[in-house]
Amino acid sequence: MQKSTFAFSFLLLFGAASQAHSAVWQPSAGHVQVPIWPGAVPNAVLDAKPESVGTDGATVSDVSRPTMTVYAPKGANTGAAVVVFPGGGYKVLAMGIEGTEICDWLTSRGITCLLLKYRVPRSGPTWEKGHRHYPKVETALQDAQRTLALVRQNAEQWHVDPHRIGVIGFSAGGHLVAAVSTHFAERTYAPVDDADKLSSRPDFAIALYPGHLWMHEDEERGNRNEADMRLRPDIRVRPDTPPTFLVQAENDDVDGIEQSLTYYIALQKAGVSTEMHLYAQGGHAFGLRKTNLPIGQWPMLVERWLHTIGVLEPQ
């Protein structure tokens, strides 16, 4: 059978080649980006623009060659791992505040972190010219499924428990958390190698201020039928959806609380273990920013939850 081409000699060559192109996002020293597709990328955009990085050095546009970057745990290794999905409306990726900063926090808690640079733009639902656009193929979901399988394939090498691999996502990345949590019965792409024989189901899921989940999010606020808390049809919660943790602020003017509430209700109806925290203030895209607001305690609550569901050792 064809073996995965996940060879570190190739990865190092890829990393060296990438360094020559300053327009491509690069992780900090000591980390190497790994292409998640060994050959042709499925459903590739034929006229893709070259990848570019914003002036902040952390906002990435026009990703056509998805990668993951492995961040090893600092100190004692708990054996748990988390794949990180930055937000950006499926248009760009916020690789700093919703990527590397999240990995710094997770690795400081002994958790292996995999930062996914998934394809954008138009790889998932986007708001364009007054209406919601859904691509024929959600290629970001393909990237997420493939990455989870690769983590399991390399679990022994990376000292990861293949049964304690979760996901965390922000905004559009929160939608991707819901998508990969509910689409794991089959691949959304043709199998590439042995890695695709492994499960793409996360063992746990964390979504912060997720978007694109509520059926009525496109309607004007005054006309919204808030009594109809139905999910959009691309998210189909099933009883074996992984345990889920949700965080959102009531004054989020980008993705309202209906997004998290709708997903929470669907999870509860399916009997999925779920914990949700709604806060009066916090806005959108708060990440790990220091604040005196109660919402700033969400990382501590996530850590406690990971202990209660058995991902981390009981406290």
pLDDT (tens digit per residue) in 213-230 = 998 876 655 555 666 889
Among 3.30.470.20, 3.40.640.10, 3.40.50.1820, 3.40.30.10, what is the CATH number of 8-308?
Answer: 3.40.50.1820
* pLDDT higher than threshold 80 for residue 6: no
Q: Give the C-alpha separation, 77 to 81, whole Å.
A: 10
User: Which residues of 54-141 form beta strands (DSSP E)?
Assistant: 59-61, 67-71, 81-85, 92-94, 112-117, 126-128, 131-133
Query: At 133, is the secondary structure helix, strand, or coil?
Result: strand
Per-residue b/e over 107-117, b at no fewer than 16 CB within 10 Å? bebbbbbbbbb
* pLDDT higher than threshold 80 for residue 258: yes
pTM comes to: 0.90
Q: What is the mean pLDDT of residues 85-90?
A: 97
Query: Can you give the pLDDT at residue 314?
Result: 85
Task: Enumerate the H helices of the chain as residue ranges.
Answer: 8-19, 101-108, 139-153, 172-182, 257-269, 298-308
